[in-house]
């Protein structure tokens, strides 16, 4: 009887612990901003649906990180005293996103696009969207989006220069992932590639064809270095595999020889009997 009771208590404690743990995880990710906005109509609720599919959601950048406010207090969430900024007007968007993307914002500001801000030029959201922001790639440069304000010719030329390096980065990334899967330490190479990728994707914002072309040459050689290093690691692995294979063969031969010796010894000793 006593035994069954303590079993019961064990179960209750376990359930309590589990629900507490789940509650903690929930509290961390569900801010009051998300809880209230998801139930709102139109743009207010769509913000949540779009944001959930964004590169920002994946990296833990939530509503309050961009818009400010208090993500823990239902009543005061959107009060200016708690740092709520509201939604920025078009001309303020580069500074709004530039809080975190400093390098990009600076380059943009000095570009033909930045100089045309407020005079028909595009800003960050024109190209990246506000809530559905995706990992950047040359796919963002396309006829539909880039011919809204001028001809696509110059855009197409920039895309050509950008695309080649983008593909090189993807190939190098796949090589690194393959090494990582078999347990090779790839951190220094990954860091190199990450830095190169960021530098290069930022450069687009100059929208200067000559600048992008010139830099492409430099990036190509930096990328070649990374590819050469992964190839060297792969070659070392291959020789190790060959030696590993050779060792196994030698061991098998040794085992067969030993077995033969033992057999002949056994027959000899049984013959002596």
Of residues 57 through 76, those in contact with ligand HEC by CB under 6 A are 59, 61-67, 69-71, 74
Stretch that binds ligand HEC, among 12-20, 154-162, 235-243, 262-270 (CB under 6 A): 154-162
Q: Which of 117, 172, 189, 207 binds ligand HEC (CB under 6 A)?
A: 207
Q: Is the separation of the CB atoms in 125 and 134 below 8 Å?
A: no
Contacts 24+ apart (CB under 8 A), 178-187: 179/230, 179/233, 179/234, 182/237, 184/233, 184/237
- Residue 170 and residue 164: Cα distance in Å, rounded? 10
Residue bearing tokens 């943009």: 108
Contacting ligand HEC within 225-244 (CB under 6 A):
none
Q: Which of 19, 99, 214, 246 binds ligand HEC (CB under 6 A)?
A: 99
- Residue 2 and residue 18: Cα distance in Å, rounded? 25
CB of 59 to ligand HEC, least distance (A): 4
- Residue 252 and residue 248: Cα distance in Å, rounded? 6
Nearer to ligand HEC, 64 or 223 (CB): 64
Per CB under 6 A, 202 contacts ligand HEC: yes
- Residue 188 and residue 175: Cα distance in Å, rounded? 14
Residue bearing tokens 């045309």: 116
Nearer to ligand HEC, 43 or 171 (CB): 43
Per CB under 6 A, 198 contacts ligand HEC: yes
Q: Which of 117, 138, 223, 226 binds ligand HEC (CB under 6 A)?
A: 138
Q: Which of 117, 161, 162, 189 binds ligand HEC (CB under 6 A)?
A: 162
């Amino acid at each position: 009887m006593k035994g069954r009771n303590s079993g019961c208590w064990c179960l209750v404690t376990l359930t309590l612990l589990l629900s507490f743990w789940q509650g903690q995880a929930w509290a961390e990710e569900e801010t009051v901003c998300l809880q209230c906005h998801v139930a709102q109509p139109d743009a207010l609720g769509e913000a949540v649906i779009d944001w959930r599919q964004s590169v920002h959601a994946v990296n833990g950048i939530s509503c309050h990180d961009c818009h400010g406010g208090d993500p823990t207090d239902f009543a005061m969430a959107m009060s200016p005293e708690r740092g709520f900024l509201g939604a920025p007007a078009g001309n303020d968007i580069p500074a709004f996103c530039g809080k975190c993307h400093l390098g990009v914002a600076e380059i943009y500001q000095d570009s033909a696009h930045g100089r045309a801000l407020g005079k028909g030029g595009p800003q960050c959201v024109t190209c990246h969207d506000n809530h559905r922001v995706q990992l950047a790639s040359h796919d963002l440069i396309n006829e539909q989006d880039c011919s809204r304000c001028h001809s696509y010719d110059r855009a197409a030329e920039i895309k050509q220069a950008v695309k080649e390096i983008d593909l090189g980065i993807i190939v190098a990334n796949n090589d690194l992932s393959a090494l990582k899967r078999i347990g090779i330490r790839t951190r220094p190479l990954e860091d190199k590639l990450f830095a190169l990728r960021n530098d290069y994707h930022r450069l687009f914002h100059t929208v200067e064809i000559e600048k992008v072309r010139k830099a492409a040459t430099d990036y190509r050689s930096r990328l070649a270095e990374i590819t050469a290093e992964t190839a060297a690691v792969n070659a070392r692995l291959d020789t190790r595999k060959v030696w590993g294979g050779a060792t196994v063969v030698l061991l098998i031969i040794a085992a067969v020889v030993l077995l033969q010796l033992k057999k002949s010894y056994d027959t000899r000793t049984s013959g002596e009997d």
